[in-house]
Structure 1
């Protein structure tokens, strides 16, 4: 293979690898980060203490309680509304609320993942009775009065309609395959491109800079998607809570983008430094082995006189 052909093949492989790198990171995050119940619950756990999220929980749950009470007992007095919201706001500062938050997220995520692995077309719902049971146990442990007498109604909350499951299953299967093969293919293409290159040092530098560029592109895409997501919300009051949820879910993806950027720049800088050190050593070696001469422009030293013959005047 000629030098020019090797350079062209190497450039094509490295370019394709750098293009696949951010998409591979995105697919791996979606396949192994969002679909793992333990990681999902861990990522969502800090949001229980977020003020914006707590305000949304108080408003949503409080309005639901007031609507149900009004449907059962008729119109309510105006002073009931702030009382209910204040009680819920106080509850969101307790350990029982954090227990309910984690249990609710775990139950909802497990229900969705079970539906994605199942072939039955049915509405995805979650039963909140186990969640209420764990909350009651937490309240009893905190010595809350009448905690053991709280009723446990099997209330099922709808999460996904049955007509959307087929599309979600296809997308999940594609992500499951892409999350494994795309990063592997990106690494394999980069290694092959460096191996066949006529100048491997330049190929390694190009792959490193391309990886850094892919990490920067991924970080920019996350920021743009965040802006579009928040802008598309009809309720402006819920944007801080949605921003907190978005940031919590994409924390691992942002870390991956910074990792790609840092690794790419570090490798490129390392290659440049090793080349600089190598050139410096070669220059010093040539100077040490070169014959010494006088300054430039100086007259040559006179030849020594011939030796005298003894006995000759």
Structure 2
């Protein structure tokens, strides 16, 4: 019976290690990607990322180029718009517009997952263009009032099979409600079943640390696969920044779980050593 309990405890601890990355990803999909506020907060720092700013300026300039009929002064007007955009991306107004654009992008992404329409994650630059136009009009720049506020989208991620993505996302959302709790319950059960509780606590702590390592590896591997599969027309540094921003929660979780697991294992081991010391 004692051997069976020890073996069962070891199996559960191994299962806990495997469930750590699955639980983290499920919780992330449900509570981070599924929330407009958290998604916007994760993407907000990218307003100051040089690679993302470069993409916004390039795409907005390209979209607006030639849309104002300035006759012989067309080149000068286009250059003025480009300079205005480069100046604008460093202002608080741009950050506000960026957050608005990302909130709209999140709504569109969830809509795509619901309806099955679309094949990419895009950001509509209309709020940015509207803010630029407002600033130029206030500065009394000639012809600024003729700038059309068009829905210009910047593609940051593409996906080949939206149906599979939709099913996977729904599964993760459902699992996000119970999988983390199950992982904790199993960790407690492994310790309760063990014949030698102190050893079980140490093993469980190390199992959590292993699970954290698996999570970190999964995030890194998925990053490489995602970026390597990008089409040539998507700016890679900007896509890297977007991926890192969206997965920041997972990397932080990996470090936190690693610290908790190692601290539990080391603390329990030291406690046992001290108790044996005469």
Task: State the TM-score, normalized to the length of structure 2.
Answer: 0.81
Partner of 1:25: 24
Counterpart residue number, 2:127: 131
Secondary structure, aligned partner of 2:189: helix
Q: Which residue of 2 aligns with 1:216?
A: 213
Deviation at 1:149, TM superposition (A): 5.6
1:36 deviates by: 0.7
Question: Normalising to structure 1: TM-score of the pair?
Answer: 0.73
Q: Which runs of 5+ in 1 are unaligned?
A: 285-313
Pick aligned residue for 1:245 from 231, 242, 245: 242
What CA deviation, in whole Å up to 9, does each residue of 1:39-75 have, x standing for no partner? 1111111111111111111111112222x639x8999
Q: How does 1:159-238 map to 2 (within 5 A)?
A: 166-235=163-232, 238=235
Contact 1:26/1:253 (CA < 8 Å) preserved in 2?
yes
Would you say 1:113 and 2:78 are equivalent positions?
no
Query: What CA deviation, in whole Å up to 9, does each residue of 1:186-205 have, x standing for no partner?
Result: 11111111111111111111
Segment drifting more, 20-29 vs 180-189: 180-189
Matched position secondary structure for 1:69: coil
Task: Give how far 1:133 is off.
Answer: 9.8
Equivalent runs, 1:147-162 vs 2, <5 Å: 155=151
Structure 2 segments unaligned to the other structure (5+ residues): none
- Rounded to whole Å, the distance in 1 between the matches of 2:150 and 2:8 is 63
Q: Following the alignment from structure 2 to structure 1, what is the Cα–Cα distance between the partners of residues 210 and 122?
A: 43
Radius of gyration: which is bigger?
1
Query: 1:177 Cα deviation (Å)?
Result: 1.2
Change (3 A) 1:122 1:24: closer
- What is the rounded CA distance, in whole Å, between the counterparts of 1:52 and 1:156 in structure 2? 18
Q: Which residue of 1 aligns with 2:60?
A: 61
* Deviation string, structure 1 residues 149-169 (Cα, Å, up to 9, x no partner): 6777574869899x9664443
Quote how far apart the aligned CAs of 1:121 are. Answer: 5.8
- How far apart are 1:135 and its partner, in Å? 3.3
Structure 2 partner of 1:288: none
Structure 2: distance between partners of 1:41 and 1:248: 10
Match of 1:308 in 2: none
**Residue 59 of structure 2 contacts residue 154 of structure 2 at CA under 8 Å; is this kept in 1?**
no
Pairs aligned (count): 274
Q: In structure 2, what is the equivalent of residue 44 of structure 1?
A: 43
Separation (CA, whole Å) in 1 of partners of 2:176 and 2:199: 29
Equivalents in 2 of 1:151, 1:238: separation in Å? 26
Residues 10-62 of structure 1: CA deviation (Å, up to 9, x unaligned): 11111111111111111111221111110111111111111111111111111
Give how far 1:107 is off.
Answer: 1.2
